[in-house]
Amino acid sequence: MSHPNHHKGKTRRIPCLKIDRLLLGFIVSRSAFCVGLSVFGYFVCSFANCVLNLSVSKYINNNLT
């Protein structure tokens, strides 16, 4: 009688582990996505600043000369 109960407990524990892993994976992927997004945003901003500075300096040089 105790053996089937033990088996039942084992099968019940596995889905919980699966859900925990799924949740953990979701959290990890979400944080990784956020980090990637912020890094991507930083690079885009720095690139835009670089282009803006270049175009502004070009504009100033063209107007001054």
Burial class (CB in 10 A: 0-12, 13-18, 19+), 62: exposed
Tell me if 3 is assigned to some domain. no
Backbone torsion region of residue 21, taken as left when φ is above 0, otherwise alpha when ψ lies between -120 and 50, otherwise beta? alpha
As a whole number of Å, the end-to-end CA separation of the chain is 96
How many Å apart are CA 5 and CA 11, to the nearest integer? 10
Predicted confidence (pLDDT) per residue in 9-63, tens digit: 555 566 677 888 889 999 999 999 999 999 999 999 999 999 999 999 999 888 8
* Amino acid symbol at 56: V
Residue 46's domain spans which residues?
Answer: 18-64
Tell me if 10 is assigned to some domain. no
Three-state DSSP at 6 gives helix
Q: What is the tally of structural domains in the chain?
A: 1
Reported pTM:
0.49
